Amino acid sequence: MPEFRNLIGGELLPAARTMDTVNPATGEAWATIPAGGAAEAEAAVEAAGRAFPAWSALPALARAHYLRKVSEVFGRHAEELARLETRDNGRILRDTLKRDLPGMAHLWQLAAGQCLDAVKGDTVLLGPDTLGLTRREPYGVAVCVIPWNSPISTFSAKAAYALAAGNTVIVKPAEQASASVLRLGELLAEVFPPGVLNIVSGLGEEVGEALVRHRGVGKISLTGSTATGQAITRASADALKPMTFELGGKSPNIVFPDANLDAATQGVTVNSVYTGNAGQVCVAGSRILIHRSIWDEMLGRIERACAGLVLGDPLDLATTMGPIVSAGQYERVTSYLELAEKEGARLVFGARTGADVVPALPGGYWVAPTLYATEDNALRVCQEEIFGPVAVAIPFSSEEEAVAIANDSVYGLAAGVWTRDLGRAHRLVRDLHSGTVWVNTFRQMPPGLPFGGVKDSGYGHDSVLEYTREKAAIIQI
């Protein structure tokens, strides 16, 4: 089996312990990754700390040169990285190869162009003899904790901006899917000076906790579950440091009767919760709110759209939906199918699992696209993040009721609105409690706009300025 190594201080180092990584389409181990712990975390912080003075002292345009080299690496190794990621986490190849990798090459170029933003400040004439000014400074060592559903994309969204701002970086990938990021580390070891970029694989409760507790770390950025965000907050409480959290979601996707129903059907199914990543996306519109006047029609449309999805080998470009990432996540998702039945939600379609879904791959972690219907938004399947291809349809009668149901959640990451009424669109953008509102589209996350949540979905967003702090100076002339 292939064996991947951590990148620490410019060297590819084997860990004292290793663990297998499993192909979720087959349930079989296919590679070995480091099971790092406190020792690897300490070494990474020391390496990043040593590299920080020289990296932060580089002129912004010199840092931009390094980031453009990373974009070139993505261009040369796109197919290799895409196939690694698909094999590791089940995200279909047509997404990783056609969407993720080209987008990340562009993101590194964009971050390179924003290096100057990290060194800009303001001047204020406080009086005829007094000048005020501000300057932006990097935090130092930035720890970026990334999830398993889109490792390379999230790695890029964090590391590119952190490095552009002058920080040195330690990336902690999820133990369920580290291989693509570790391979990327091998490639980038030839790009950055030693210690500027470090990648440490291991269990979250060991290497992750050691990193976030370390007083040598100046900034933490996490994309992950709300529970992980809460755990990191507790672990880092003794060494206060700024944090950016993009956490869980239970996003509403609201369909009004005046909407283009063809577009809305696509938007609430293929582009939302029933995706190539099997609904394992934080913004999944897993609460589909449908106006009562089009209730039956939309349920039929959604069922027909999902019947057209192709589940199978995620490395096959014909596949349109892949497996659940791991045995543990598979158990979690299937437990919600049992819970929905107990709570009295009506099954519209789906709820098939395992070999019954993809007989050709009986060892994989398969859950068919599933939809329940209920009038009660208080059900746990309506309130809790399932993180799988399971949605709940909820009817509404008025705009005000739709907003009330949508906001009745501890989460506030994103929302979708389908309507031709321009006034209604603007009202819902204003009234929905979420970090992003999509109108007549869904899951568009261009790097030029902020992406983050409110409430239990986190705070802040990954950008160059988020990885800097402002310092003020007052000068008496």
Burial of 338 (0-12, 13-18, 19+ CB in 10 A): exposed
Terminal Cα-to-Cα distance of the chain (whole angstroms):
67
Q: How far is CA 394 from CA 21, 378, 398, in A?
A: 38, 11, 13
Q: Give the Cα separation of 227 and 254 in Å (integer).
A: 27
Catalytic residue IDs: 246
Nearest-angstrom CA–CA distance, 468 and 125: 24
Closest CA to 40 of 69, 79, 80, 9: 9
* Position 293, amino acid: S
